[in-house]
Structure 1
């Protein structure tokens, strides 16, 4: 099963830059998109239901803001939206597609422009992740977590130790996710290299200088550890200031 996640930073902007042609060439089973910044009912048919895919979206209440989507090759058994708390659900930050043995989720963490709000979100989301571990179903959570976990995940980490997205509190929160809760960072399970980034704050020009952050993840529970076969970042994708994360699973 080949799964891709990509923060498009506005899906219609990405379409104008070739997103649909790229999508048709991926031969992916599931493509999760974040920060669609559009109302799904306003999307043209070729964006909502591109050839070969079923599209599903969860919109933010606010116009031109946030929102997530999932493109599926095969129709899922069910689609579920929301995390059950207002801070997430009014901004369209989580949805999942349920298949026979696994659910694939598209997720967008707040960036942290309001640090107190992001901290509250993280506390509520951590409780959700705890409950998820008790379910019998396996989950693959794909998206922009907006935190670089380790120093290897950030080019200029020395200058950013108190920056939003790399603060001690945020990194400690990620330690809980990948520590006591038992979740696995699929990319780091396969690839330990430095200079592997998915986001460039100043835009695509930063890619030439490799001044990036790795804030986009595919996260799974320990039962899927052996199912992770390949993982790589496609930084040739330039529809936004994020790269695509691609992971192949033997499911």
Structure 2
């Protein structure tokens, strides 16, 4: 958050007519975010900072006061590393998610897979409540070959492992959740993250790691999903989801 603020993130946020802004890997503690720049007019700021300073964490800026704020789910790193932040507004749930990458070691990949197993149960329980649901986050995984440029070279690397893709298959096929971007846009070349090495962004050798997953009841309301590449706030770029209907209407309907 602090580095991106210097690159114009909050000026950009002030120009968006967004009801919610979800940030992942904020790398900041609440006491480091007291400056007014981190509290833009018209938004309430909800934070889930990681215990380790300068590492991980999630945040949601909301135009409305949440009825409930949940930090973490039934999985240790979702709490200690600030990787899951949930807001409930009437019958609408917004989740800001930052999954572990698994790239640093086999142990971290094992933690990632454990996180996925627990997360599935969390989302399954939310489905049973009938709530409208938007999960916005850095999933640190690609689902299909079209979601990364060099898929052949990365089939045995975290982020495109068979077991990760199988989990995403379950999320969509069994749980019924909808990848909002892919519901409107097919084909390769649409990425949200690029390595900072080897001119990856210049050559568009990227990965689509950042998704909005929504309940099927919102599918007919998807108006637009945009990957915003014009400005550089970090090695990820924003993904904008626009739904038909105002917030009050959406938050008072059954989701499934």
In the alignment of these two chains, the number of paired residues is 241
| Alignment match, 1:126 | 120
| Alignment match, 2:230 | 236
Say if 2:28 and 2:53, in contact at 8 Å, map to a contact too. yes
- Per-residue displacement from partner, 1:191-229 (whole Å, max 9, x unpaired)? 113200001123694221000000100011111111111
Counterpart CA distance in 1 for 2:180 and 2:209 is 13
The one of 13, 26, 40 aligned to 1:36:
26
| Alignment match, 2:215 | 221
Unaligned ranges ≥5, structure 1: 1-10
Runs of 4+ in 1 over 4 A off after TM superposition: none
Given the superposition, is the C-alpha separation of residues 47 and 92 from structure 1 closer, same or farther in structure 2, using an over 3 Å criterion? farther
Say if 2:91 and 2:132, in contact at 8 Å, map to a contact too. yes
| SS in structure 1 of the partner of residue 226 of structure 2 | strand
Between the two structures, name the one with larger relative contact order (CA 8 Å, sep ≥ 6): 1
Say if 1:40 and 1:48, in contact at 8 Å, map to a contact too. no
- 1:190 matched to 2:184? The reply is yes
Counterpart CA distance in 1 for 2:185 and 2:101 is 25
1:74-153 mapped onto 2 (5 Å cutoff): 74-112=64-102, 113=104, 114-153=108-147
What is the CA-CA distance between 1:54 and the residue it aligns to?
1.3
Larger mean CA deviation between 27-36 and 127-136 belongs to 127-136
The one of 1, 15, 20 aligned to 2:5:
15
| SS in structure 2 of the partner of residue 27 of structure 1 | coil
| SS in structure 1 of the partner of residue 227 of structure 2 | strand
Counterpart CA distance in 1 for 2:137 and 2:184 is 18
Say if 2:147 and 2:190, in contact at 8 Å, map to a contact too. yes
Say if 2:4 and 2:234, in contact at 8 Å, map to a contact too. yes
Larger mean CA deviation between 218-227 and 144-153 belongs to 218-227
Counterpart CA distance in 2 for 1:93 and 1:13 is 19
Normalised by the size of structure 1, how large is the TM-score? 0.92
**How well do the aligned residues superpose, as a CA RMSD in angstroms?**
1.5
Say if 1:204 and 1:238, in contact at 8 Å, map to a contact too. no
Given the superposition, is the C-alpha separation of residues 104 and 204 from structure 1 closer, same or farther in structure 2, using an over 3 Å criterion? farther
Counterpart CA distance in 1 for 2:198 and 2:66 is 34
Normalised by the size of structure 2, how large is the TM-score? 0.90
